Chain A
Amino acid sequence: MSSPRSWRHYPQRYRYEAAVCTKCGKVHFPPRLICDACKGREFTTKTMARTGKILTHTIVRVGPSNFADQSPFAVAVVEMDDGPRITCQVADWNQGQLTIGQKVRLEFRKIYDEGASGIINYGYKAVPI
């Protein structure tokens, strides 16, 4: 991902800013232009609570080139306490913690860097609590 594209995602990746449909109240993360529940087009911004639970998970053993040094790594679909479901890496898990229903909190982590001299991209990963 290029630096400008990463920069455009700061509100979501850094601050977990979701869009709440003003018509039906559905919380979208990342934000959408049109609500998929009621087709509403007006939204307010809400900072999501950082906690949720693992719905499903897997281990990626052969990661893409930017993630090769991190392999094998865990990826999970996490249902946030505010409703949205997100896909993200799971960090710092102990034996027995990578399970369906495990409570997690989003932590600010390095996602990958663009080589030794490139920009460092930050975002969220789920950490078991």
Chain B
Amino acid sequence: MTVGIVGYGAHLPRHRIKVEEIAKVWGADAPSYKKGLELREKSVPAPDQDVITLAVEAARNALARAQIGAQEIGAVYVGSESHPYAVKPTGTVVAEAIGAVPNCHCADFEFACKAGSEAMFVCTGLVKSGYIKYGLAIGADTSQGAPGDALEYSASAGAAAYIMGSENLVATIDLQHSFMTDTPDFWRREYQHYPQHAGRYTGEPAYFKHTLGASKALLEKSGMKPADFDFAVFHQPNGKFPMRVGKMLGFKREQLETGWLVPLLGNTYSGASPLGLTAILDIAKPGNKIFMCSYGSGSGSDAFILTVTDRIREAQDRAVKTRKLLDENKIYLEYGEYAKFRKKILKAE
């Protein structure tokens, strides 16, 4: 059975903060951060936005492109590391809001930044097995960066949603592969507001080892080489890592730029590579080959090979495109407003 994406959608907050605005508060050198991280600004969720609200809007866009009834969706999986509740699923609210309840399987996934691609991986498998007709997989985050920490320059917000099925596909998922080990590069303990990370250790033994591991294994499994693809997208914790890992694998800058949203968006964690894929699908043509590889700390990567189908042309304009969300209606914040939005100001009870 051929399985793949029936509909896809994205959603981003409108608020932004520039690297210079954060750097001036902490006495940091903005040009060196901008050059070092290849970041210019990041999205910031409004106080009335969270993973649930972003996921619902992305799911609605995916439904608009899929042109199916929500009642046909047999599974709703939301991957995130910033679920609004510690106990109470994100997915039930999303399913209720889009009208997919009650005959639906639902779970919240967590695996740092690869929880969204995990949901895609599982939905694809459930459709392929014949257990469900359609599955909704969402990667969404309103990620946290401690004040003054390097993560504060990149931790942002956004959501991408995919409806997986076996008919009327906009792209087939030809192969997928997972690669993971126990690697303590980034974590957040229970009741802690901000995550901790192991600095430079998050690079070679973590991001690069797992992204290269999953990508090389999938390329070998498929018998394809980087030159066979029109587009490639990797997890993007900053601007530098995805470009570097792409080049290490043999991809060229032109293949990577379409899905490289991070310089203007920041790191949307579970939404990162899935959002990059939505930007690619927005402009892809039938027959295009796409390579995608996520990364989640802890650590692991999910890699996918997709082929775009003829139906992409009718689906692309049925919902807002990701670059439009990224480039239009932006509202810039000063650091004080940003601190209030992200609840970094403690008020007296």
Residues of chain A whose beta carbon lies under 8 Å from any beta carbon of chain B: 10, 14-15, 47, 69-70, 91-92, 94, 107-111, 120, 122, 125, 128
Contacts and interface: CB of A to CB of B under 8 A. Distances in A.
Given A107-B53, A108-B57, A122-B93, A70 B99 contact: no
B47 A69 contact: yes
B288 interface: no
A91 B46 contact: yes
A14 B95 CA distance: 10
Contact of B56 (A70, A94, A108): A108
15 contacts: A69-B47, A92-B15, A108-B57, A108-B60, A110-B48, A110-B49, A110-B53, A111-B48, A120-B50, A120-B52, A120-B85, A122-B52, A122-B93, A125-B48, A128-B329
Nearest to B50: A110
Interface string B98-109: 110000000000
A17 B288 CA distance: 39
Contacts, number: 47
B329 A92 contact: yes
B177 to A, nearest CB: 34
Contacts of A111: 48
A47 B60 CA distance: 13
Contacts of A107: 53, 57
Given A94-B331, A108-B56, A120-B84, A14 B48 contact: no
Given A94-B331, A108-B97, 5 more contacts: A15-B98, A47-B99, A70-B47, A91-B46, A120-B52
A46 B53 CA distance: 22
Kindly list the 3 A-B residue pairs having the minimum CB-CB distance in the complex, ordered from nearest: A108-B56, A14-B97, A109-B48
Given A14-B97, A15-B99, A107-B53, A92 B47 contact: no
A92 B84 contact: no
B14 interface: yes
B331 A92 contact: yes
Contacts of B329: 92, 94, 128
B104 to A, nearest CB: 15
Nearest to B101: A10
Nearest to B13: A92
B96 interface: yes
A128 to B, nearest CB: 8
Interface string B79-103: 0000011000000010011110000
A69 B347 CA distance: 10
B53 A109 contact: yes
Contacts of B46: 91-92, 109
Given A108-B53, A108-B56, A109-B53, A91 B97 contact: no
A60 to B, nearest CB: 14
Contacts of A91: 46, 48
A59 B99 CA distance: 33
A108 B204 CA distance: 40
Nearest to A112: B48
A122 B331 contact: no
Contacts of A47: 99
A107 B14 CA distance: 12
Interface in B306-322: none
B53 A92 contact: no
A10 to B, nearest CB: 6
A71 B133 CA distance: 45
A109 B47 CA distance: 9
